[in-house]
Amino acid sequence: MRDQLHALLCDPSYRPIDEIELARRLKLAKGQRKELAHEVRRLLVKGVLVQVQGDRLRLRGNEGDVTGTISFKSQGKAFVLLDAASKEKETDGSDIFITPEETGTALHGDRVAVRILSARPQRHGREARSDFKRTGRVVQVIERARDSLVGSFQKSGRSYSLLPDDPRFPAVMLADPVQSGARPMPVAGDKLVVKLDPWTDRGSPLTGVVERRLGRQFEPGAELLGVFEKFSLDRLFPHEVDREAASIPSRVRPGDLAGRQDYRKVPTITIDPDDAKDFDDAISLEPLDHGALRVGVHIADVSAYVKPGTALDREAQQRGNSTYLVGTVVPMLPEKLSNGLCSLVEAEDRLTLAVLLTFDKSGSLKHTDFARTVIRSRKRLSYRQVQALLFQSDFDAIRGLAALPAHQTGSTGRPLSSLSDLEIVDLQSWLRKLWAIARRLRSDRMAHGCLDLNMPETKIYVDEKGYADRLVKMEQDESHQLIEEFMLAANESVARLTRVTRLPSLYRVHDDPDERKLAEFREFAGTLGVNCGDLSRREEIGKLLATAVHHPQGYILKSQLLRSLRKACYRATPDGHYGLNKKDYTHFTSPIRRYADLVVHRVLIHHLAMQAGTASAVPADRSRAESLAGHLSLTEVNSQEAERESYKIKLLEFFERESLKKPKTRFKAIITEIRMGGLFIELADSMTFGFIPAASLDDDYYSRNASGSALVGRRKHRQYKLGATIDVVVLSVDRFRRLIDFKPVA
């Protein structure tokens, strides 16, 4: 109950209420109310709680204080992102800058109370051009984000410490591992999990006790375990979940097909990345009268196997989604379902839910149906294979496409090299018809104000030992766009259905941007020589995105724009999607890896049952849907942060290994920023960012020119210009500070 009470009082939406209302909100039984009364008195005596407006209760804090989440930057500086309650009472909802001296005992990610010291704009180095309008002081740590840290064990004389993997945390002084019972005794360079002691005095060091050893720092296994620990991820499932999964048949049974439309003889394919191991979605194509075509978007019917209230369902809901780390995945569902019975593998019967889109001969969408279906995929295709089938006519070249090693991918089905000419012609015909429709859908979508916010990506592949050994830049080509358009159309169709029928459901919402954030971004873009119009107008953002395509700092420009927009989230209300410029949008197409999609599937099945006159109770009420939306938005953010962490670790690992090669690999790089101390660069083939220290330019003494557009040699007058392409090799990698330095080569 104490934890529940603390969570309620710290909730951003909490407003002061009395003890009776607290008991009601906590859903306490009568016998627990004395316990609550005792806890409230204890907190009042300690000064943690105060009474306001009579006998209403809230956490102690100055009336002028605001609350939010603290995020640390380099050199101990930080900013506080205000929570919803503080933004409501503040006329200026901007983030608050905190100097190192004013952070108190806060640690990165903590929820804190802040006293505003200055309401006037302050400048604090590069970070503060216009990002931090006010300064403040941390007056209270309301809730710790973490009670443990992962890092590397250090020994200096008789002192022991932990150097955290996350450089935003300070070093942790450790008790003598022998006396604290650590077994085996750690040695320098071991990766450990350390339990943090309470930290209430800034004048004293942060301390902790060794909990367990994960392995040696920078070993792939230990680094992976560190990510699992930091983000509370677990590849293993509880015994009860495994037992339920084991009881599910391994194949689709004849009795499972009752009430389903049979699509097993209709041409159906899946299109996924090379390294995909589970396949949620498939596309079918049916010719109709008068040149019309019906495209079926068939999605794995996870709801047929994961029933509400089961251990499988509870665990999937708790996880919220799968987490895709470099080289591995922490699945939402056990492998028997995620890679087996629910995965739409080639040549196997699979149960699906479908959105059936009918297009006339000109490619216009004329009708949408929904159905429970059974399919049998004709071919599992990768994006590379689809791109070749769309635009190549040389069958030998198509058949010769290299396959990934078995440890880097899932079920591949029959290799293209084994297909007959007729089978390849069929695949080409289906794909080219699908692309003709998808191309029109995309053109119409962009013409109606959709923003192309897709960022290029670099995929990291690992060898059989888990080490990063290859970087591949992923292009958003026609093969990606083909599948994307039909998935978007399916998501929109289902969202429109649930909104119109007023069924409680989940929606994927992207709110309109904050005009203040857009104004700050406009100022940032100006420093890069990009003059923006009024970014509150959608067409001006479209122009900016077009400019970024050819700008030398286009990636930075686009990524900063994305940071200026609000984050998409789940909500129980159909509030629209700003980026897509759609009134109706949900997530329906990935129920193997997203619990939100499974919820939407259950709503659609309920609707189909209502139409058939066999409906039972509504899957969830609106209140339940809103609660789920909040939880799933949080699990999504946690997974995204874990995936970024995994990517950073593997990227540094790759370039550290490159730094040891002889001869060293040459990389093409673009100069993206000029500094007195050196050059910021972006590698052209992998979009990796790094730095060339001026000290490494040892053929001359270099200084920045008057316009700041180049470093110029004093004697030889050689120039390194903004936007120029140069060849570089890796100079050094700092795994702790997460920095990669390069050196130009002739």
170-177: Cβ within 8 A, 24+ apart: 170/107, 170/205, 170/206, 171/205, 171/206, 172/196, 172/205, 172/206, 172/207, 172/208, 173/205, 173/206, 173/207, 173/208, 174/207, 174/208, 174/209, 174/210, 175/207, 175/208, 175/209, 177/210
The tens digit of pLDDT for each residue in 450-509 reads 999 988 889 999 999 999 999 998 888 999 999 999 999 999 999 999 999 999 999 999
C-beta neighbour count of 143 within 10 angstroms: 15
Q: Give 594's contacts (C-beta < 8 A, 6+ positions apart).
A: 320, 321, 322, 332, 587, 632
User: Which of residues 624 and 377 earns the better pLDDT score?
Assistant: 377
Q: The tokens of 370 are what?
A: 């929904």
Task: Encode pLDDT of 133-169 as tens digits.
Answer: 688 999 889 889 999 999 999 998 889 999 999 999 9
Asked if residue 21 lies in contact with residue 9, where contact means CB atoms within 8 angstroms, the answer is no
Say yes or no to pLDDT of 603 above 90. Answer: yes
Mean pLDDT calculated for residue range 699-712: 92
What average pLDDT does range 23-43 have in this prediction? 85
- Contact 628/506 with Cβ under 8 angstroms? yes
The amino acid sitting at 593 is: R
Residue from 587, 593, 632 nearest 342 by CA = 593
- Closest by CA to 270, choosing from 304, 298, 301, 305, is 298
* DSSP summary character for residue 431: H
Provide the pLDDT for residue 475. 84
Which amino acid is located at 351 in the chain?
L
Contact 1, 32 (CB under 8 A): yes
Strands 148-156 and 365-376: unpaired
* Longest pairwise C-alpha distance within the chain: 87
Strands 365-376 and 261-262: parallel
The answer, yes or no, to whether residue 126 has pLDDT greater than 60, is no
pLDDT tens digits for range 314-373: 999 999 999 999 999 999 999 999 999 999 999 999 999 999 999 999 999 999 999 999
**Structure tokens that stand for 378 in this block:** 């004709």
**Beta pairing class for 268-272 and 379-382:** parallel
pLDDT tops 90 at residue 183: no
- Compute the distance between CA of residue 402 and CA of residue 384 in angstroms, rounded to an integer: 10
Average pLDDT over residues 25-30: 86
Beta strands 148-156 and 190-196 are: antiparallel
Distance between CA atoms of residues 590 and 328, nearest Å: 18
Give the pair of three-digit tokens for residue 492.
């929109």
According to the model, what pLDDT value does residue 185 have? 84
Count the alpha carbons within 13 Å of 395 in the hemisphere toward its beta carbon: 12
Tokens 């699992």 belong to which residue?
228
Cβ count near 693 (within 10 Å): 15
Residues 127-142: pLDDT tens digits?
434 444 688 999 889 8
Q: Give the list of residues 6+ apart from residue 1 with CB closer than 8 angstroms, or none.
A: 26, 28, 32, 35, 36, 39
Confirm if 57 and 51 have CB atoms less than 8 A apart: yes
What confidence score (pLDDT) does residue 89 get? 60
Amino acid identity at 295? V
pLDDT of residue 124 exceeding 60: no
The Cα–Cα gap between 690 and 697 comes to 15
Characterize 203-223 residue by residue with b for buried, 16 or more Cβ atoms within 10 angstroms of its Cβ, and e for exposed.
eeebbbbbbebbbebebbebb
Peptide bond into 287 cis (omega under 30): no
Rounded distance, CA 85 to CA 82, Å? 8
State percent of the chain over pLDDT 70: 94
- pLDDT band of residue 121 (cuts 50, 70, 90) is very low
Q: Are 398 and 381 in contact (CB under 8 A)?
A: no
Give the amino acid at 96: I
Half-sphere exposure of 427 (CA within 13 A, CB side): 28
Sequence-ordered strand ranges (E) for 401-511: 457-462, 468-474, 507-509
| 253: CB partners within 8 A, 6+ apart | none
Q: Which of 220, 730, 735, 734 is nearest to 467 (CA)?
A: 220
Q: Hey, how many other C-beta atoms are within 10 angstroms of the C-beta on 24? A: 11
List, for residues 392-451, the tens digit of each pLDDT value: 999 999 999 988 888 889 899 999 999 999 999 999 999 999 999 999 999 999 999 999
Q: Tell me how far CA of residue 56 lies from CA of 46, 69, 239, 671, in angstroms.
A: 17, 25, 44, 59
**In the numeric block, which tokens belong to residue 134?**
């006010």
Q: Which helix (H) or strand (E) holds 19?
A: helix 19-25
CB count in 10 Å sphere of residue 616: 8
| Nearest of 248, 241, 288 to residue 266 by alpha carbon | 288
Average pLDDT over residues 203-213: 93
Nearest Cα residue to 353 out of 493, 543, 477 = 493
pLDDT of residue 129: 40
The whole-number pLDDT of residue 128 equals 39
How far is the C-alpha of 159 from the C-alpha of 652, rounded, in Å?
Answer: 29
Residue 365 has what DSSP assignment?
A: E
Average model confidence (pLDDT) for the chain?
91
pLDDT for the residue numbered 67: 87
Please say whether the beta carbons of 68 and 86 come within 8 A: yes
Q: Could you tell me the CA-to-CA distances from 117 to 62, 122, 135, 397, 581 in Å, in that order? A: 13, 11, 6, 67, 40
Which residue is it, tokens 């008991």?
23
Say whether 331 sits in a helix, a strand or coil: coil
Q: What is the dihedral of CA 56, 60, 65, 68, to 10 degrees?
A: -100
- Structure confidence at residue 708 (pLDDT): 87
pLDDT digits 0-9 by tens, 281-291: 999 999 999 99
**N-terminal to C-terminal alpha carbon distance within the chain:** 67
Q: Which residue has the tokens 């289906």?
A: 430
Helices 595-612 and 311-319 cross at an angle (nearest 10°) of 130
Looking up tokens 């209140």 gives 623
Residue at token pair 């730095």? 691
